[in-house]
Amino acid sequence: MVTDCINPIIGIFLSNYIFIGIEIVVTFISDGPIIKSVGPNRLTTVNLYGEAWFDCEAEANPTPSYQWLQRISGGLASSAVRSNDARLHIRNATYHHQGEYICRVANYIGGKERPVQSDPVALQVVGKPDTDS
């Protein structure tokens, strides 16, 4: 958000002239990120070796950074960074790409990181590998 304020400054009378100045004050208000949308769908199905993408849209001031994280199965809750853009584009999808993804959006205000995460979206990979040789 931007707030504008115009304050007139009355000048000095010199002979027959009047000097008038205008002071413009612009105040920038910083906002932490708000995720507006993630998709195109909560569940996307793609054929084996096909391609898929997810988009993350957020509002923030200053402009945020994006990360797409894939949840990795295992004993501990962990994830792997799959993209550092607002769009995650998966080419040549394999079963390793199957699973849940989270969009992480962050910006810095006053030197402090302000991160938020989306609800998960899921990728399902279908089809069997071509075993003809």
Q: Give the residue numbers spanning the domain of 60.
A: 31-126
- 64 and 105 Cβ atoms separated by less than 8 Å: yes
- 31: pLDDT confidence band, cut at 50, 70 and 90? confident
Query: What average pLDDT does range 16-34 have in this prediction?
Result: 69
Q: What is the sign of the dihedral through the CA atoms of 29, 34, 40 and 45? A: positive
Q: What is the CATH number of the domain that holds 108?
A: 2.60.40.10
Compute and round to an integer the Cα radius of gyration of the chain.
25
pLDDT in tens, 44-91: 999 999 999 999 999 999 999 999 999 987 655 689 999 999 999 999
pLDDT in tens, 83-123: 999 999 999 999 999 999 999 999 999 999 999 999 999 99
Asked if residue 42 is part of any domain, the answer here is: yes
Asked if residue 62 is part of any domain, the answer here is: yes
**Between 105 and 4, where is the model more confident?**
105
**Between 123 and 16, where is the model more confident?**
123
Q: E-assigned strands of 15-130?
A: 17-28, 31-39, 43-47, 52-61, 65-72, 78-83, 87-90, 99-109, 112-117, 121-126
Q: How many domains does the chain have?
A: 1
pLDDT at 2: 44
Asked if residue 21 is part of any domain, the answer here is: no
Asked if residue 10 is part of any domain, the answer here is: no
Query: What does the block give as tokens for 89?
Result: 């584009």
Task: List the beta bridge partners of residue 101.
Answer: 70, 121
